[in-house]
Structure 1
């Protein structure tokens, strides 16, 4: 990367990471603290965890299309401010219904598509996978920080403190957008090109884009459903206190980064990243089956958790990178809007279905459901085409030889 690309990527990865940190902070604590809220049930706890995903899903496409027309930065700032307001509402809530409302308002700050589109605008094609991988790593880093900070903040200040912290992260991200991302960052943005009329039908007719959209929907469905039950398994079955859960999560996550790095490196070097997605789907299926069948054994649980995070981190980094390569020029914001809609719809469905399945059938059934969902993604991933940049590079190498 050149200097401008490094600065833009670092700034946007930090902003995206802060945004996701605000969403992840409740994952390790809400299943434990949520039952203390008035009116809480397993189904409503799951809804509160996933509620932000529904409003995110509804607004990602409009925000992505708007960013194609008026620019990325205004959309990002507006979304971060809405997220901060929603965090305040959730912080002051005393009932489960109030938290659900706040979470839904948080989701109205739908900036994921605009952030990733801006990253794509500011990087060359051959550097874009690095940029998206760094953004994906920032999500993983946010997740690791949340697993430590969430229980610590909740232990000192309760759920209200967790939500006030998320509001602070959103406001910090606004400042960083102007302090870290280059001032001329949207010099390559051209409204007459990017605001192409009729872009949404073009995006929705592309089978490769739809396969990637399904992939991120399933990925975040599995993530959210899993964290409806993972804290419960650690505390009730493995006897690990809530404040100590980070001692399990953090080493497993750090080790999973090694697996992710190896897979992405092989995929990019050999230009087979699109083919490795099916392999990753199999890894996730195996992980969920291990978690379902061996949740009373700590070594087996750790193995299943490690496999899950290898799959999650690999997909989180590679799916958006592949999507920007398949998206038509001038429609990246729209394509990423559809992608982000699928992502957060998956989070919503994961919370709702995970809570409902746990209440009706127990924790093992949630992991089995996740394995079945990953199987659906596996069938779709097998048919994914090679990106044009891979084919062009292969043609150039053949001609040179």
Structure 2
């Protein structure tokens, strides 16, 4: 019954890899511009620090507003057409940004880029194309591509800006987006049917409970604060590297590459301690403290290549640990059958954080300079620390999804009662209409034999009814 014992089929692997590639390329297009956009935008007609910051974070506003509507539209109009439409919007936005000769056109381009909010539709298509027992791995693959895209962009963005210019990066992302449309229709398999997946999609009937859950709200505030601070940082760090350290855009990879490598090396043992050794609370809180300390170092220490490098290593170590831990904590904290709703709200909070971070960072840089941005970021991190300490981190549980077949309501309720009696099952929900059981389990205590026995009974009942 263990999810790890069930191998992905070739169709599931093809679907997971192709959709992860589409999602990763789109995120790469957004991330590549982060290390170079503030320098480029300052030279455009009509530019002000506030408008530059807004241009950096503007994609987050339309992402946040349209993520859920795109997911709902994919239920009615089909996954692939909605994904293709989002990629077209992203390509058009990239083209507008590439051709922009003023800050206002750049801002419009970034808004259009964000309007191609295909995340929810991609996740729903992954759910259509995978079984319950293999879906978690497919989702993890998409999450991994986002992390890799961000790390690669820090090194590749400045290098590409030197070779082809910032407009060239925008044109490149436009071309890649058009190519991704071909992948959607030619490579991604056609789902046999599209249905509701409570683990992957937002459910309106569960939204109220998610928005009232204090643990989930603390985590939503966390991702909001994390991406606010990150986006604000990229408003001022690229100009700082040029003006204070003499690192032209073509040479900034010399700083970003060791920062990325060292921060990833430091991240992995910390994430292992948090997840495998169940030290999530100290690791999580320590990462927030590291984030705040790194920003305060940028305020207090004299600007130099070693001090800035040290502060950035500390910042991205904390950032990487938190970026990896927060989705895991959301999964642990969300009700067994409402993970998709919890993740949807979480993603909206993330993108609003990016928008507000760019806007706030632009305003603060114009009024107070880089130190003001770093100080605001540190204060935000300390506020987050207080929020995180106001309640415990979620228990170490994982969600197990299992297909049970067509049960009537009485059989579904009977299976629910049986699952709740299994040692190690913390929560269980069975939905007759979906033919799926959702369980929150403590893997260290789980009685796999009893769980299998309950599921075998349910499947026998479903076969008899069929």
TM-score by length of 1: 0.87
Aligned position for 2:115: 108
2:274 matches 1:267: yes
The corresponding residue for 2:324 is 317
Partners of 2:328 and 2:18 in 1: CA distance? 17
Aligned pair 1:204/2:211, yes or no?
Answer: yes
Which blocks of at least 5 consecutive residues in structure 2 are unaligned? 399-439, 451-466
C-alpha distance 177-37 of structure 1, shift in aligned 2 (>3 A): same
* 2:362 aligned with 1:355: yes
Matched residue, 1:97: 104
The yes-or-no answer on 1:343 pairing with 2:343 is: no
Among candidates 191, 196, 213, match of residue 196 of structure 2: 191
Partner of 2:446: 396
Alpha-carbon distance between aligned partners in 2 of 1:107 and 1:250, rounded to the nearest angstrom: 27
Separation (CA, whole Å) in 1 of partners of 2:103 and 2:175: 22
Offset of residue 259 of structure 1: 2.1
Report the alpha carbon displacement of residue 150 of structure 1 after superposing the two structures with TM: 2.7
Question: In the alignment, is the contact (CA less than 8 A) between 1:64 and 1:334 conserved in 2?
Answer: no
How far apart in 2 are the matches of 1:391 and 1:191? 23
CA displacement at 1:132 relative to structure 2:
5.5
Q: How does 1:207-222 map to 2 (within 5 A)?
A: 207-222=214-229
| 2:63 maps to 1:56 | yes
Matched residue of 1:238: which SS?
Answer: coil
Higher Rg of the two aligned structures: 2
Is 1:143 the counterpart of 2:150 in the alignment? yes
Single out whichever of 354-363 and 275-284 deviates more from structure 2. 275-284
The correspondence for 2:285, drawn from 262, 278, 282, is: 278
Q: Is the partner of 1:36 in helix, strand or coil?
A: coil
CA distance in 2, matches of 1:381, 1:183: 42
1:64 and 1:259, CA in 2 relative to 1: closer, same or farther beyond 3 A?
farther
Q: Which runs of 5+ in 1 are unaligned?
A: none
Instruction: Report what 1:246 is aligned to.
Output: 253
Counterpart secondary structure, 2:222: helix
Aligned residue in 2 for 1:255: 262
2:26 corresponds to: 19
- Cα pair 1:65 1:333 within 8 Å, conserved: no
Q: Distance in 1 between matches of 2:119 and 2:30?
A: 12
2: distance between equivalents of 1:32 and 1:302? 19
The answer for the alignment partner of 2:89 in structure 1 is: 82
Q: Secondary structure of the equivalent of 1:202?
A: helix
Deviation at 1:95, TM superposition (A): 0.7
Give the CA deviation at 1:201.
Answer: 1.8
Relative distance call for 1:119 and 1:213 in structure 2 (3 A) is farther
More strand by share: 2
Number of aligned positions between the proteins: 397
Distance in 2 separating the partners of 1:78 and 1:330: 29
Which of 168, 171, 175 does residue 168 from structure 1 map onto?
175
1:154 deviates by 3.0
Taking the aligned partners of 2:69 and 2:148, their CA distance within structure 1 comes to: 28
Q: 1:237 to 1:337 in 2, by over 3 A?
A: same
Q: Could you tell me whether the CA contact under 8 Å between 2:159 and 2:253 is conserved in 1?
A: no
Superimposed CA distance per residue, residues 84-128 of structure 1 (whole angstroms, 9 cap, x where no aligned partner): 111111112211000101100111111233445555774767983
Q: Aligned partners of 1:386 and 1:323: how far apart in 2?
A: 11
Q: Distance in 1 between matches of 2:98 and 2:21?
A: 24
CA contact (8 A) 2:159 2:249 kept: no
Q: String of CA shifts for 1:223-271, please: whole Å, max 9, x gaps.
A: 1100001111211112212210011001211221122222222222134
Give the structure 1 partner of residue 433 of structure 2. none
Query: What CA distance in whole angstroms lies between the structure 1 residues aligned with 2:202 and 2:379?
Result: 39
Check whether the contact 1:20–1:142 (CA below 8 A) recurs between aligned residues.
yes
What SS does the aligned partner of 1:378 have?
helix
Pairs within 5 Å for 1:62-77: 62-67=69-74, 72-77=79-84
Bigger RCO of structures 1 and 2 (CA < 8 A, at least 6 apart): 1
Q: In 2 relative to 1, CA 392–71 (structure 1 residues): closer, same or farther, beyond 3 Å?
A: farther
Distance of aligned partners of 1:325 and 1:109 in 2 relative to their CA distance in 1, 3 Å threshold: farther
**Residue of structure 1 equivalent to 2:42:** 35
